[in-house]
């Protein structure tokens, strides 16, 4: 299976994301922000970093990159799409996911290993997990506080679209401890912490993050 | 020359940690006047000559699509002489 990993100017985690894709059993395809060609990929990952320097708002300028036009079009047709950290911010700015990621409530940039619980295992990115499974993966962001209005929050809760929550103390002020959400269709997932940095214990705090990348292979083989 | 100014502010219900940090720094410097501080962004846009209604409409559109995120922010467009 071919999983595209997008590089914007300022992206940091594209190499780790590509490595995680390979570790999960798929082929990683490099996609460039300025090129609308998705190279026949089956799924796309928007990795973490500081695309366009986080100028204006995180993800606000990336949303209009040529590659995003094709990605939004394909995602609306059901292509699996995962945005991690800055990628999650791009998905919210693109309106593929509701809400917005705002400055951490304590203003500090966070960099720590974080326990999250997987709440929805019906997406193509989370099917390798069991519901309620707690995993340990890195969390590193300055603007990771998930905010939305009450009606949006109620629909996310009611429709089971919160795919992961922080366990323990709220690290960044996110509403209802939200670490990740999905769209109505379930093919687009945004996640603030970083599974691609936790695919083996040599380089990460655990191998728990690998599940996101084995999930996508399973989803596409089915 | 006239300037088109777009002020972008977080919606009142959205937490503003930067504004809060400023609010708590003020009294440390002896400034005791503030009961609350909110921090926003100001865009100054120059156009050739006086802005036309069509240009202002375009700026409104740009403010909606790019300069602000309507999920969390409000904006105001005005002309400054």
Sign of CA dihedral A171, A174, A175, A177: negative
Task: Give the C-alpha separation, A194 to B42, whole Å.
Answer: 33
A91 pLDDT higher than 80: yes
Query: Cβ(A33)–Cβ(A6) under 8 Å?
Result: yes
A37 inside 8 A of chain B by CB: no
Contact residues on chain A for B67, CB-CB shorter than 8 A: 56
Number of domains composing chain B: 1
Closest CA of chain A from B41, distance in Å: 9
The least confident of A27-36, A89-98, A213-222 is A213-222
A220 pLDDT higher than 90: no
Q: Note the pLDDT tens digit of each residue in A29-45.
A: 999 999 999 999 999 99
Task: Please give the residue range of the domain that contains residue B65.
Answer: 3-80
Q: Note the pLDDT tens digit of each residue in B20-74.
A: 999 999 999 999 999 999 999 999 999 998 999 999 999 999 999 999 999 999 9
Nearest to B72 among A102, A105, A173 (CB): A102
A186 pLDDT higher than 80: yes
Closest CA of chain A from B68, distance in Å: 8
Percentage of chain A modeled with pLDDT above 70: 100
Residue A2, number of CB atoms within 10 A of its CB = 16
Counting one residue from chain A and one from chain B, the pairs whose CB atoms sit within 8 A come to 35
pLDDT of residue B81: 79
Q: A147 falls in which pLDDT band (50, 70, 90)?
A: very high
Mean pLDDT of A187-191: 98
Delimit the domains of chain A by residue range.
2-221
ipTM higher than threshold 0.85: no
Q: Any idea of the CA torsion for A102, A156, A41, A198, to the nearest 10 degrees?
A: 60
Nearest to A103 among B17, B66, B71 (CB): B17
pTM above 0.95, yes or no: no
Close Cβ partners of A95 (under 8 Å, ≥ 6 residues apart): none
Cα B43 to the center of its chain, rounded Å: 7
C-alpha closest to that of A5 among A96, A84, A101, A64:
A84
Task: Give the C-alpha separation, A167 to A157, whole Å.
Answer: 17
Nearest to A100 among B17, B18, B69 (CB): B69
Which CATH number characterizes residue B18's domain? 3.30.1280.10
Rounded to whole angstroms, the maximal C-alpha distance in chain B is 47
3-state secondary structure of A64: helix
Nearest to A107 among B13, B17, B69 (CB): B17
B1 pLDDT higher than 80: no
Closest CA of chain B from A105, distance in Å: 6
Enter the DSSP assignment of A11.
Answer: B
Task: Give the C-alpha separation, A183 to A186, whole Å.
Answer: 5
pLDDT of residue A102: 95
Closest B-chain CA to A152? B71
Q: A77 falls in which pLDDT band (50, 70, 90)?
A: very high
Determine whether the interchain pair B17/A148 forms a contact, defined as Cβ–Cβ distance below 8 Å.
no
3-state secondary structure of A2: strand
Contact residues on chain A for B69, CB-CB shorter than 8 A: 57, 60, 93, 100
What CATH number matches the domain at A2-221, 1.20.120.530, 3.40.50.880, 3.40.50.720, 3.10.20.30?
A: 3.40.50.880
A56 pLDDT higher than 80: yes
Contact residues on chain A for B18, CB-CB shorter than 8 A: 103, 107
Percentage of chain A modeled with pLDDT above 90: 97
């Amino acid at each position: 299976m071919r999983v595209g990993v997008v590089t914007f100017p300022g992206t940091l985690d594209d190499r780790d994301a590509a490595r995680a894709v390979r570790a999960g059993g798929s082929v990683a395809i490099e996609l460039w922000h300025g090129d609308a060609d998705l190279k026949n990929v089956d799924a796309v990952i928007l990795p973490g970093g500081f695309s366009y320097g986080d100028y204006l708002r995180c993800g606000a300028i990336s949303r209009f990159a040529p590659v995003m036009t094709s990605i939004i079009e394909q995602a609306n047709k059901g292509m699996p799409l995962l945005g991690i950290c800055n990628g999650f911010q791009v998905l919210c700015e693109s309106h593929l996911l509701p809400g917005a990621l705002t400055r951490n409530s304590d203003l500090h940039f966070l960099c720590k290993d974080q326990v999250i619980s997987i709440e929805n295992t019906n997406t193509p990115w989370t099917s390798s997990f069991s519901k309620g499974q707690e995993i340990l993966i890195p969390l590193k962001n300055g603007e990771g506080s998930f905010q939305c209005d009450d009606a949006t929050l109620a629909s996310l809760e009611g429709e089971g679209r919160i795919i992961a929550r922080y366990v323990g103390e709220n690290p960044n002020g996110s509403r209802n401890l939200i670490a990740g959400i999905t769209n109505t269709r379930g093919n687009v997932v945004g996640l603030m912490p970083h599974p691609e940095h936790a695919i083996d214990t040599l380089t990460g705090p655990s191998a728990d993050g690998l599940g996101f990348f084995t999930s996508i292979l399973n989803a596409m083989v089915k | 020359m006239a300037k088109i100014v777009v002020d972008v502010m977080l919606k009142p219900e959205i937490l503003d940690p930067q504004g809060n940090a400023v609010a708590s720094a003020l009294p440390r410097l002896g400034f005791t006047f503030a009961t609350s501080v909110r921090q926003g962004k100001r865009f100054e846009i120059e156009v050739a000559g006086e802005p036309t209604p069509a240009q202002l409409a375009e700026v409104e559109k740009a403010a909606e699509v790019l300069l602000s995120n309507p999920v969390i922010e409000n904006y105001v467009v005005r002309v400054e002489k």
